[in-house]
Copies of this chain bind each other. A is one copy, B any other.
Amino acid sequence: MGRITLKDVSEHAGVSRSTASLVLNDDPSIPEVTKKRVRASMLELGYVYNRQAATLRSQKSMALGLVVTEIRNEYFAELAMSLEGAAYEAGYTLLLCYSRDDLRRQETQIERLFERGVDGLVLLPAAETEPAKMDLLLRGSQVPFVLLARHFGLEHDYVGADNIRAGELLGAHISSLGARSVSILGGPASTSAGLERIDGFTRSVSGAGIEVVPEQRITSHTNASDGARATARLLDGGTLPDVIVAYSDVIAVGVYAELHARGLRPGTDIAVAAFDDIPGSEHQVPPLTTVATFPSAIGLACGELLLRRIAEGVPESYSHTLIEPQLRIRASTVSWRPRHG
């Protein structure tokens, strides 16, 4: 029961209603003594500010929507958390929805957020999102929005890792090892992040005479089991590449497991590398070479961009903020030696 209203407070404190309202905003035109009295009344009466009413009136909800595919993956979890941090600092509350990579669900979630009058929206789009349709839905709403970690086309604000660069960094490192063949365990098909990583990597190794054997795709929910399965498929196909590059560190856990199951030592018999640098990766045995993609920096930048859009309105040109990745060279690649001289 948000029973106690500002009216009750103002009567109890013996001030006008507008004064009470100004106290809420800590307006400097009100003397400290009055503020104190009003606040004491609020406390005494157990007053709770009714933001629904304020939103209705002022057309500002002080809420941000976040739609992500899922967050069991630590990388996404970190994104969500840092975004919430940015929102919290600015006084915003985060409305969180998981699309679970389901298009209908994603659409419903976004519509519900619009019903709630979010001041801005962050979308980590589901893998198969149809660009034109989504564009219509988002733009039609007039609500500022930013795409996170995955994009579709270029006509939107976007914040994510520089995945092409990440691929290149890893490609250059792999080339320097003297490897002859690489297999990529590719993560979800049809996400920009996945394609860019593979693009950058492939381009980067193509000059070095390295054979990139056909990729093993992984379904969109990427976890250790998927990595193990993809590795099994690869090896069952009769290929034993010099290097396995996994779409993400989480997948690499499964790669390690499957290699061990077949008597192959990762980092010795076969080099392994991945992307993201989640906290556990340096504690893998052997420590995993990976490309750090700094999800907390991405989430923060995303929050800041969105808040700027909310404050300043729709810009003429959209911003693509790419967070620079960093290669983390560890034993899973450097302790490996080429078999062929």
Interface residues, chain A, with chain B CB atoms under 8 Å away: 1-2, 46, 48-53, 55-56, 59, 61, 63, 70-72, 74, 77-78, 80-81, 84-85, 88, 93-98, 105, 109, 112-117, 140-142, 223-225, 227-228, 250, 253-254, 256-257, 260, 279-280, 282-285, 287
Residue contact B283 to A254, C-beta cutoff 8 Å? yes
Q: List 9 A-B contacts (CB under 8 A).
A: A52-B55, A77-B77, A80-B96, A93-B95, A95-B95, A223-B279, A250-B280, A253-B283, A257-B284
CB < 8 Å neighbour of A256 from B2, B112, B282, B283: B283
Measured CA separation A285–B265 after assembly (Å): 11
CB < 8 Å neighbour of A224 from B84, B88, B116, B279: B279
Closest to A113 in B: B93
Residue contact B74 to A93, C-beta cutoff 8 Å? no
Residue contact A257 to B283, C-beta cutoff 8 Å? yes
The smallest C-beta distance from A75 to any residue of chain B, in angstroms, reads: 9
Q: A141-B48, A285-B256 are in contact. Are A72 and B78 (CB under 8 A)?
A: yes
Contacting residues, chain B, for A225 (C-beta < 8 A): 279, 283
The smallest C-beta distance from A65 to any residue of chain B, in angstroms, reads: 9
Closest to A112 in B: B93
Measured CA separation A279–B50 after assembly (Å): 42
Closest to A116 in B: B51
The smallest C-beta distance from A63 to any residue of chain B, in angstroms, reads: 8
Measured CA separation A59–B53 after assembly (Å): 11
The smallest C-beta distance from A102 to any residue of chain B, in angstroms, reads: 11
Closest to A117 in B: B52
